[in-house]
Chains A and B, each alone.
Chain A
Amino acid sequence: MESRPARGDLSTVTEDTPPQTPDQAPPPEPRRLTRSGSDSVIGGVAGGLGRYFGIDPILFRIGFVVLAFIGAVGVLAYLILLAFVPSDGSERTSGTSKAVAVAGAVVLGCLLVTFLSPPLFVFGPGLLILGLVGLAGVLLWRALGGSAGDDPARTVGRIALAALIGVAVIGAGVGVGLAAALGGGVVIAILAVVAGFALIGTAFVGGARWLIVPALALVLPLGIVSAAGIDLNGGVGDRDYRPSTTAQLQDRYELGIGSLIVDLRDIDLPKDQTTNLAVDVGLGEAVLYVPSDTCVSSNVQIGVGGSDVLDRGADGVDVTYADDAPAPAGRSKLHIDADIGMGVIEVVREGYLRDQFSHDWRNGQEVANGIKDFDGGTKCA
């Protein structure tokens, strides 16, 4: 009986199996984690991980994006791997289209988190801006020809040019938003429609993709301003109104951007009748202090932000809050009709402190002086 050679024991190989030479089958290189140059979206980290573990790299990409929203762990991990894992030195081939797809997923992820997490509305606008900046960057990258190749000077030049154009696009977007909020929305919408028809018309003769970015720079800010109902005609800055008589009390207080304070604590509102007060803030906060003996009803509409009306609060997008307060005989009643584009409104009763949107050091001191704490008072205290 012929004995089988032990696995890996080349000394027992018979002449039937020719000896392997380096020319025919080079010994396999030890498996090594490297960044992929051929399967690369940003730095080839996910492509390298996929190749190393034999898994589709898209799974690692999804993992990085998901982890990016958990304390930015994904971003940190990616940067660390990008810094310490060497490149395999191969050429980048078709990363541009994938970059568009992945950047689109990141943008959608940012927006999803923005709108699915109402308590995070403070972070919402920031994520939205990040998403839009990322989109602008990808579109610019595509417009400028995608990969810059191996020439460092060319790469630096393109990055600088993209940064300049990116700043210009963002500036134009902010300008369009301001113009829309100041009443130019109809003209901007018409321009956007015209730009859209121009894109459709040129699509049949080769296309004019360069027109997409300016058209989006018209549509996106207008969409945000329109949806939030931001109106900047009330001006910009901080306003502090403290009427002491009903003659000084205005029917409407307006502010475009900034902080509006209307302090009614020194005023004696007429008994057994309703005093109507309208508050309109485009972007910012409105704080109303109401007298201690006045019943307060309210109708609040907020595009993006939060309301804290006495002891009740709400936040998120498209916030609508209505509350009636029938006043007993001999009591005054104040009806607040508030329209906030992006921001917060607080209604605080005399003797109480501002609530969830203000946590400064003075609160503790005022509580120590006998002022009631943090619930803003009830609607008919």
Chain B
Amino acid sequence: MRVKRLDRTSLVAGVVIVITGIVLLLDQLDAIDLKFGYAAPLLIAALGAILLTAGLEGPRDRD
């Protein structure tokens, strides 16, 4: 049986999407007041982290 290896791109993407989603959820629930000046770097950092990980890891091996 073949052991599947850790897919770092999915892991990093999942973490940043969870973090971003929680921040946006807090804003929607009026627990925080998210401004563009804070949201833009957050979204850019999320995209950058995913792209960087995908770029470093390269295309996934096809089974």
How long is the Cα–Cα vector from A101 to B15 in the complex, in angstroms?
20
Query: How many A-B contacts at CB < 8 Å in the complex?
Result: 161
Could you say which residues of chain B place their CB within 8 Å of the CB of A82?
none
How long is the Cα–Cα vector from A15 to B10 in the complex, in angstroms?
67
- Verify A223–B42 contact, CB threshold 8 A: yes
Known: A111-B40, A219-B21, A222-B24. A199 touches B34 (CB 8 A): no
Within B6-59, the residues touching A (CB, 8 Å) are: 6-11, 13-22, 24-25, 27-29, 34-40, 42-44, 46-48, 50-52, 54-56, 58-59
How long is the Cα–Cα vector from A222 to B20 in the complex, in angstroms?
10
- Verify B11–A203 contact, CB threshold 8 A: yes
Q: Chain B contact residues: over half helix, strand or loop, or mixed?
A: helix
Question: Per a CB cutoff under 8 Å, which of A94, A195, A226 touches B28?
Answer: A226
- Verify B34–A205 contact, CB threshold 8 A: no
**How many residues of B are in contact with the other chain, CB < 8 A?**
46
How long is the Cα–Cα vector from A203 to B17 in the complex, in angstroms?
14
- Verify B60–A196 contact, CB threshold 8 A: no
Could you say which residues of chain A place their CB within 8 Å of the CB of B18?
193, 196-197, 200
Known: A101-B55, A185-B28. A212 touches B39 (CB 8 A): no
Within A170-218, the residues touching B (CB, 8 Å) are: 185-186, 188-190, 192-193, 195-209, 211-212, 215-216, 218
**CB of A250 within 8 Å of the partner chain:** no
Looking at the assembled complex, report how far the CB atom of B37 sits from the nearest CB atom of chain A, in whole angstroms.
Answer: 5
- Verify A226–B10 contact, CB threshold 8 A: no
Which of A16-24, A102-110, A155-163, A291-299 has 4 or more CB atoms under 8 Å from chain B? A102-110
**CB of A318 within 8 Å of the partner chain:** yes
**CB of A234 within 8 Å of the partner chain:** no
- Verify A192–B55 contact, CB threshold 8 A: no
- Verify A142–B17 contact, CB threshold 8 A: no
Could you say which residues of chain B place their CB within 8 Å of the CB of A267?
none
- Verify B7–A209 contact, CB threshold 8 A: yes
How long is the Cα–Cα vector from A302 to B3 in the complex, in angstroms?
52
- Verify A226–B39 contact, CB threshold 8 A: yes
Looking at the assembled complex, report how far the CB atom of A322 sits from the nearest CB atom of chain B, in whole angstroms.
Answer: 16
How long is the Cα–Cα vector from A234 to B34 in the complex, in angstroms?
22
How long is the Cα–Cα vector from A1 to B60 in the complex, in angstroms?
69
- Verify A146–B59 contact, CB threshold 8 A: yes
Could you say which residues of chain B place their CB within 8 Å of the CB of A206?
4-5, 7
Could you say which residues of chain B place their CB within 8 Å of the CB of A72?
none
How long is the Cα–Cα vector from A228 to B38 in the complex, in angstroms?
11
Q: Which residue of B lies closest to A320 (CB)?
A: B35
How long is the Cα–Cα vector from A196 to B42 in the complex, in angstroms?
16
Name the residue among B5, B20, B21 with the largest chain A CB count within 10 angstroms: B21
Known: A103-B51, A203-B8, A207-B7. A189 touches B24 (CB 8 A): yes
- Verify A212–B25 contact, CB threshold 8 A: no
- Verify A96–B58 contact, CB threshold 8 A: yes
Looking at the assembled complex, report how far the CB atom of A211 sits from the nearest CB atom of chain B, in whole angstroms.
Answer: 8
Could you say which residues of chain B place their CB within 8 Å of the CB of A107?
47, 51
Could you say which residues of chain B place their CB within 8 Å of the CB of A108?
44, 47-48
How long is the Cα–Cα vector from A135 to B50 in the complex, in angstroms?
11
Looking at the assembled complex, report how far the CB atom of A196 sits from the nearest CB atom of chain B, in whole angstroms.
Answer: 3
- Verify B10–A318 contact, CB threshold 8 A: no
Could you say which residues of chain A place their CB within 8 Å of the CB of B62?
145
- Verify A185–B24 contact, CB threshold 8 A: yes
Could you say which residues of chain A place their CB within 8 Å of the CB of B43?
219-220, 223-224
- Verify B44–A203 contact, CB threshold 8 A: no
Question: Per a CB cutoff under 8 Å, which of B8, B9, B34, B50 touches A227?
Answer: B34
8 new A-B contacts, CB < 8 A, other than A192-B21, A203-B9, A318-B36, are: A97-B58, A107-B47, A108-B44, A195-B21, A201-B14, A219-B43, A223-B20, A226-B27
5 of the cross-chain contacts (CB-CB < 8 Å) are A97-B55, A104-B55, A115-B40, A192-B21, A228-B36
Counting from the closest, the 3 A-B pairs by CB-CB distance are: A207-B7, A199-B14, A227-B39
